[in-house]
Chains A and B, each alone.
Chain A
Amino acid sequence: MKRDLFRQWHTLHAKNQMDKSFSQTFKVHGGNMYDAGKASTEIKSILKQLGISSPTIRRVAIAAYEAEMNVVMYAKQAMIKFEVSPEEIIISIDDEGPGIPDVSLAMQEGYSTATPEMREMGFGAGMGLPNIKKNSDFFKVESIVGKGTKLEILIHINNS
C-alpha cells in the first residue's frame, strides 16, 4: 500500500490534476481518552508516505489531533474526512455532540470547559481551537447547541 500511495500521489502531482484528490474518512467515538489520537496519527503516516514536507505534516497533524481530541472529550462521535490534492489538505469534522454555545469564547486562548478527568490527561489548557487556527490557512467552525459541531480546516501544501 505504501508504494501505491506514493506512486498515485506523484502521478497526480506531476499531471497537476487539481480536480483529483486522495481522501479517507475516519469514524471517531467520543469518551475513550485512551484510544484518542488514532485518526490523526494515521493521517500523519499517510502524509509521510505521500512525501509531503515535514513542516506541512506537523501543521496538519497538530490541527487534526486537536480536532480529534475535541471529539473524544466532548462529542458522542464524529466523522473525520481527510482530503489531499496536489495543492492543499482539507480536514472536515462533523460531530454529534452538545455543540458550542459561544464559538468566539471557545476560540480564546485559555478558555476551557475541560473536566477534571480531561485535565488529568493533560488537556484543558484552552488551546485546542486556537491551535487549529494557528496551524491552518483557513478554519471554519459551525455549531448548533444540542446537535453538534462542524469544523473545516484547510492547509496549503508547502513542498519547499
Chain B
Amino acid sequence: MKMTLTDITSSLSCDVFAGFDQLNIPIEFGCASDLMSDVLAFSQSGALLLTGLVNIQTIQTAYIAEIKAIVFVRGKKPDDNVIAMAKEKKIPLLGTQYSMYEACGILYEKGLIPTMAHLTCKESNG
C-alpha cells in the first residue's frame, strides 16, 4: 500500500525539516536502521528510512541507496549542515518523537511494506 509523506507526517506527528514541497510523494516501502551499511545492503530504491543517526553520512547513504525520504526517530533533530545537504540532494527530512520501534509499528500497521518483505515471505512459506 502506498502512503504519501503527508500521511506519514500525520501518522507519526512529524516535524518537517526539509522537503516541504515534496510531501505529496508516494512511499510504498520502509526500512529502519542506524547502521549505514545495513541500509545499503537491505533497503530498496524509493523506500522511506527511519533512523536515529543524524549526521551528514546518513544523507550521503540515503542518496546512494536512493532512499526517498528520512524520518529521524527519538526526537532527534538534524543540524543546519545536514538539512542543507538533504535540500541539495532533494531528500525530505522528517522528525518524530516516537521511538524507532513504535514508529515502525505504526507505519507497518498502516500498510507500509518492509524492504525485505520478499525474504520474510520466503521464510514463512517454508
On A, residues with C-beta under 8 Å from B are: 33-34, 36-37, 40-41, 44, 54-55, 58, 61-62, 65-66, 121-128, 130-131, 134
Interface class of chain B by DSSP: helix
- Chain A nearest CB: distance from B2 CB in Å? 19
Query: Closest 8 CB pairs between A and B?
Result: A127-B37, A37-B60, A122-B36, A125-B35, A125-B37, A65-B64, A122-B53, A61-B64
A-contact bits for B25-66, CB 8 A (1 contact / 0 none): 000000000111110110001000001010111101101111
In the assembly, what is the distance between CA of A127 and CA of B61, in Å? Answer: 13
Number of chain B residues whose Cβ lies closer than 8 Å to a Cβ of chain A: 20
Given that A66-B40, A125-B37 are contacting pairs, would A58 and B57 also be in contact in the complex, using a CB cutoff of 8 Å?
A: no
Q: Can you name 18 A-B residue pairings with CB atoms under 8 Å?
A: A34-B56, A37-B60, A41-B63, A44-B64, A65-B40, A65-B60, A65-B64, A66-B37, A66-B40, A121-B53, A122-B55, A122-B61, A123-B37, A123-B57, A125-B38, A125-B41, A127-B37, A127-B40
Asked whether B58 lies within 8 Å of A122 as measured between CB atoms, the reply is: yes
Interface class of chain A by DSSP: helix
Asked whether B66 lies within 8 Å of A58 as measured between CB atoms, the reply is: yes
Given that A66-B37, A128-B37 are contacting pairs, would A58 and B60 also be in contact in the complex, using a CB cutoff of 8 Å?
A: no
- Chain B nearest CB: distance from A44 CB in Å? 7
In the assembly, what is the distance between CA of A65 and CA of B58, in Å? Answer: 12
- Chain A nearest CB: distance from B47 CB in Å? 12
Asked whether B41 lies within 8 Å of A131 as measured between CB atoms, the reply is: yes
- Chain B nearest CB: distance from A24 CB in Å? 18
- Chain A nearest CB: distance from B34 CB in Å? 6
Instruction: Look across to chain A and name the residue whose beta carbon is closest to the beta carbon of B53.
Output: A122
Asked whether A130 lies within 8 Å of B41 as measured between CB atoms, the reply is: yes
- Chain B nearest CB: distance from A61 CB in Å? 5
Asked whether A36 lies within 8 Å of B37 as measured between CB atoms, the reply is: no
Instruction: Look across to chain A and name the residue whose beta carbon is closest to the beta carbon of B60.
Output: A37
A-contact bits for B85-123, CB 8 A (1 contact / 0 none): 000000000000000000000000000000000000000
**B66 cross-chain contacts in A, Cβ below 8 A:** 54, 58
**B55 cross-chain contacts in A, Cβ below 8 A:** 121-122
